[in-house]
Amino acid sequence: MIANDAEKFKKVISHAKEYGYIFQSSEIYDGLSAVYDYGPYGALLKNNIKEYWWKAMVQMHENIVGLDSAILMHPTTWKASGHVDAFSDPLIDNKDSKKRYRADVLIEEFLAKQDEKIDKEVEKAKKRFENFDETMFRTTNGRVLEIAAKREAVHTRFVKALNDNNLDELKQIIIDCEIVDPISGTRNWTDVRQFNLMFSTSFGAASDSSDVVYLRPETAQGIFVNFLNVQKTTRQKIPFGIAQIGKAFRNEIVARQFIFRMREFEQMEMQFFVRPGEEMNYYNYWKKTRMLWHRALGTDASMLQFHDHDKVAHYANAAVDIEFKFPFGFKELEGIHSRTNFDLSRHTEFSGKKLQYFDPELNENYIPYVVETSIGCDRMFLAMMCNAYDEEGVGEETRVVLRLPAILAPIKVAVLPLIKKDGLPEKAMEIFNTLKFNHQCYYEEKDSIGKRYRRMDAIGTPYCITVDHQTLEDNTVTIRERDSMQQERIAIADVLQIVNAKVDINTVLKQLAD
């Protein structure tokens, strides 16, 4: 059984490897830090996540179109976007452990600890008093107020330091809060420095500095530089969106927590172009719509929350994260940003090409404003794995089951002959060969049926079909459902319809349209 969140996370990581979801990149050479490969089931799950996102965006909106732009872009792109000058994180080293940290993350973790302290006080008091009034306690208890006041003071300093880009003050906060390195346990810190997160490489045969190109740190810029191409060729009118899924690269300072923070990852981004002044309406619309997308998968409301940014990026006038409750706490899963007309204006300035839109209703030209939704495909994958992983006692045994939403499950249905003889494998293969046109299926004849069921539970397969001797007589099979483990005898002719009903992506998409 799972003792706590930390143990759960460890289990999810080893499960992902053991069952062919995720492998460390170049593992035979001891791996490459924060780079991962997706195994056979991982690749399927990831594709299903992308399909759900793409359909929800592109197929379900008459005014959103897709794009697949290149990873390598003209280097001026990144000067214009501000990434060359400003895409950096404040780093700090501990001189004893020689470990590197993000200064802002150390302070954020300190703030989160203060919240935990308050929660603990509340929990203690709850046990002590009958008719406990939590709001009253939080607003009047001396100890709670003391911790909250300290937290608030640090938070205010932190936000100001971030906004002023004041690296000395960030260090001072770390010193004043007596934050220690979790490894060495010491407070022997270096100064805070900015570190640019973009990977660079050289372009073409000659290698002088003028040939430096970057691996894109976000997919969005590919959308902005193609704004006119897409708008003209698709004849879209504002408001309209451009969506794309693709790789992004960031030389992250601290790459921990498995696929949560990777150096090579995949983003699903949509830029929505609107009239200046209308951006906040669409910002609120996309906040709501994106939360609905997550909830339609059946994720419990308590696992998701909005979090407004303390510091908005250099290009934004409003920003909110959708956070998911990972085993290591609520963390960003998706960002929704009102990016103003910053990017299109800057590309206009640097390229000399007018990235404008002629609005026939207003009879005027303007640079559109942009609302962006940006979600990491890998983070979504991790959220779904953590949400799905479960262990339950079945008789004497423990069953590990991945309760993935059926539309995301890598394998939809397994076809299993009860035994490996008497014509059962041939009959099972026949069924497999009819179902495979509609669904990703699985066939296995090795091991006992019980073991094969457990394996399918661990992979998250919603249905197992078992072919036995009776099948040969009356063309019926048993169908076993993953979560309830209920088995039912049904006609082979009905299998497809039952599986279809459960794994149909349209039923989920319809929830978004209602």
**337 or 427: whose CB is closer to ligand ATP?**
337
- Binders of ligand ATP in range 251-310 (CB under 6 A): 252, 261-262, 265, 267
Out of 333, 418, 467, 477, point to the residue binding ligand ATP (CB under 6 A).
333
* Contact flag: residue 106 with ligand ATP (CB under 6 A): no
Residue 398 corresponds to which amino acid? T
Rounded to whole angstroms, how far apart are CA atoms 212 and 511?
Answer: 47
H-type alpha helices, 21-65: 40-54
**81 or 374: whose CB is closer to ligand ATP?**
374
* Contact flag: residue 336 with ligand ATP (CB under 6 A): no
Longest dimension (CA), the chain: 80
What minimum distance in Å lies between the beta carbon of 248 and ligand ATP?
7
Rounded to whole angstroms, how far apart are CA atoms 429 and 420?
Answer: 12
- Residues near 298 by Cβ (< 8 Å), separated by ≥ 6? 405
Residues 202-221, one symbol each (x = binds ligand ATP by CB under 6 A, - = not), give ----------------x---
Residue with smallest beta-carbon separation from ligand ATP: 376
**125 or 197: whose CB is closer to ligand ATP?**
197
Which DSSP string corresponds to 440-468?
-EEE--SS-HHHHHHHHHHHT-SEEEEE-
Which DSSP string corresponds to 488-508?
EEEEHHHHHHHHHHHH-HHHH
**265 or 442: whose CB is closer to ligand ATP?**
265
Antiparallel, parallel or unpaired: β 36-38 and 22-24: antiparallel
Out of 332, 444, 445, 481, point to the residue binding ligand ATP (CB under 6 A).
332
* Contact flag: residue 90 with ligand ATP (CB under 6 A): no
How many residues lie near ligand ATP (CB under 6 A)? 16
What minimum distance in Å lies between the beta carbon of 26 and ligand ATP?
18
- Residues near 295 by Cβ (< 8 Å), separated by ≥ 6? 301, 304
**Helices and strands, counts by H and E, the chain:** 18, 23
Residues 341-380, one symbol each (x = binds ligand ATP by CB under 6 A, - = not), give ---------------------------------xxx-xx-
DSSP assigned state of 129: -
**77 or 356: whose CB is closer to ligand ATP?**
77
* Contact flag: residue 414 with ligand ATP (CB under 6 A): no
What minimum distance in Å lies between the beta carbon of 93 and ligand ATP?
19
Buried b (16+ CB within 10 A) or exposed e, 377-402: bbbbbbbbbbbbbeeeeeeeeeebbb
- Binders of ligand ATP in range 225-254 (CB under 6 A): 250, 252
Residues in the site for ligand ATP, rule: CB under 6 A? 218, 250, 252, 261-262, 265, 267, 332-335, 374-376, 378-379
